[in-house]
């Protein structure tokens, strides 16, 4: 349908719902909210985008063919793009500019209902150079704060990021295998609540290279946040010796949550960690506090594998044996919440090989 009032989409859905087959017979109602006149990047006109209030998923599309070209050449409504991003018409388009435009409340996020999921589709990822640029755009979009406060990139003016961009797909839709990677917000949940009864003292507080082991492990995860390897936040679950663990992590960019039931097994710490995650988080990477051999490279490989496959469980193996850390997709969070005792997430491995 072309040119209908956006409110008519709700009427259309109501009509479908009244039919015998109901809404179950409909895969989706697709609405093209604006156009780009053939350009890879655009800014909306005053009357755009025309998004129905009943929208449940908004897809923001940007073409990576714009990277490296002047704003005046590779954008639709370049004057508006310039005004929204603070970049001159003759300046070259960078990943930072693309991210700022997509995340701007008067740019990519304009008129999107607050209840809609938001996904970014970075198209035309057809070369290694464009792939690296698209990864940078995804990193910027997913690492900006998501509580409606200020965000900025590339030294430009701060903007309010709301609603939340939940995932970023890197694609070349004209190819046989159109989607290369899907980037989502991933929280590293460090399990540091145990009492190490068999060992006799908390392993997370043992000295390792001149500092408590938990500090060493968390520092490796912090590297993954600062380097853009895919971790967007760090949650540390504490229990036994909570005050000492918290002191060991003083000054580090982590969120500490307390598990009062830590003695009842690892599953209780997993539940506390999961409850601390916001709805924008796409996956959780569970890390044990007593694994000082963990490296940022291992974490990066796990996350990259997840981006390429979206498999529900990703973990490292060595000589045929499963190891840690383990990444769980959000689709498994309810099943993880139901686990009891000290088995952790291992009970799901057989169900999702």
What's the pLDDT tens digit per position in 243-253? 999 999 999 99
**70 against 33, higher pLDDT:** 70
Give just the sign of the alpha carbon dihedral 155, 46, 165, 306: negative
Question: How far apart are the C-alpha atoms of 119 and 280, rounded to whole Å?
Answer: 11
Please state, as a whole number, how many other Cβ atoms lie within 10 Å of the Cβ of residue 73.
13
**34 against 135, higher pLDDT:** 135
| Per-residue pLDDT, 145 | 53
- Percent of the chain residues past pLDDT 90, beyond the cut: 75
| Per-residue pLDDT, 8 | 85
Burial tier of 87 (Cβ tally within 10 Å: 0-12, 13-18, 19+) = buried
| Per-residue pLDDT, 7 | 83
Question: How far apart are the C-alpha atoms of 305 and 260, rounded to whole Å?
Answer: 34
Pairing label, strands 57-63, 117-123:
parallel
Question: How far apart are the C-alpha atoms of 314 and 320, rounded to whole Å?
Answer: 14
Vertex 31 angle, CA 25 and 34, to 5°: 170
Report residue 320's pLDDT band, with 50, 70 and 90 as the boundaries. Answer: confident
DSSP-assigned beta bridge partners for residue 288: 191
Question: How far apart are the C-alpha atoms of 291 and 284, rounded to whole Å?
Answer: 18
Domains of the chain in start order, with CATH, are 31-183 (no CATH), 185-348 (3.90.550.10)
Cβ contacts of 268 within 8 Å, gap of 6 or more: 193, 259, 261, 262
Report residue 197's pLDDT band, with 50, 70 and 90 as the boundaries. Answer: low
Q: At what angle do helices 296-309 and 213-226 cross, to 10 degrees?
A: 50
HSE (CB half, 13 Å, CA atoms) of 29? 19
Burial tier of 142 (Cβ tally within 10 Å: 0-12, 13-18, 19+) = buried
Q: What is the pLDDT of residues 49-80, one digit of tens each?
A: 999 999 999 999 999 999 999 999 999 999 99
| Per-residue pLDDT, 149 | 39
Q: What is the pLDDT of residues 292-314, one digit of tens each?
A: 999 999 999 999 999 999 999 99
Q: What is the pLDDT of residues 143-180, one digit of tens each?
A: 875 444 344 544 555 555 456 899 999 999 999 999 99
């Amino acid at each position: 349908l072309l040119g209908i009032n956006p409110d008519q989409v709700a009427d259309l859905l109501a009509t479908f719902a009244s039919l015998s087959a109901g809404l179950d017979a409909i895969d989706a109602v697709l609405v093209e909210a604006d156009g780009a006149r053939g350009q890879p990047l655009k800014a909306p006109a005053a009357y755009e985008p025309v998004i129905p209030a009943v929208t449940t998923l908004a897809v923001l599309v940007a073409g990576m063919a714009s990277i490296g070209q002047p704003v005046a050449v590779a954008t639709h409504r370049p004057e508006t793009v310039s005004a929204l991003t603070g970049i001159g018409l003759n300046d070259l388009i960078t990943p930072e500019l693309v991210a700022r435009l997509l995340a701007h409340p008067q740019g990519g996020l304009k008129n999107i209902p607050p209840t809609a999921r938001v996904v970014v589709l970075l198209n035309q990822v057809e070369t290694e150079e464009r792939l690296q640029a698209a990864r940078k755009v995804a990193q910027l979009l997913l690492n900006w704060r998501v509580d409606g406060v200020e965000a900025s990139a590339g030294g430009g003016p701060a903007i309010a990021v709301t609603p939340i961009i939940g995932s970023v797909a890197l694609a070349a839709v004209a190819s046989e295998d159109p989607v290369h990677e899907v980037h989502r917000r991933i929280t590293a949940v460090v399990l540091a609540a145990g009492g190490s009864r068999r060992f006799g003292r908390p392993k997370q507080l043992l000295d390792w290279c001149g500092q408590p082991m938990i500090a060493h492990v968390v520092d490796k995860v912090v590297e993954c946040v600062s380097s853009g390897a895919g971790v967007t936040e760090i949650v540390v679950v504490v229990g036994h010796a909570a005050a000492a663990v918290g002191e060991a992590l003083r000054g580090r960019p982590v969120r500490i949550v307390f598990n009062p039931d830590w003695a009842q097994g690892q599953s209780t710490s997993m539940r506390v960690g999961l409850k601390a995650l916001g709805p924008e988080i796409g996956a959780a990477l569970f890390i044990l506090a007593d694994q000082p051999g963990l490296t940022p490279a291992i974490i990066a490989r796990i996350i990259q594998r997840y981006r390429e496959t979206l498999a529900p469980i990703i973990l490292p193996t060595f000589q045929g044996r499963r190891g840690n850390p383990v990444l769980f997709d959000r689709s498994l969070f309810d099943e993880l919440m139901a686990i009891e005792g000290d088995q952790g997430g291992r009970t799901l491995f057989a169900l999702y090989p």
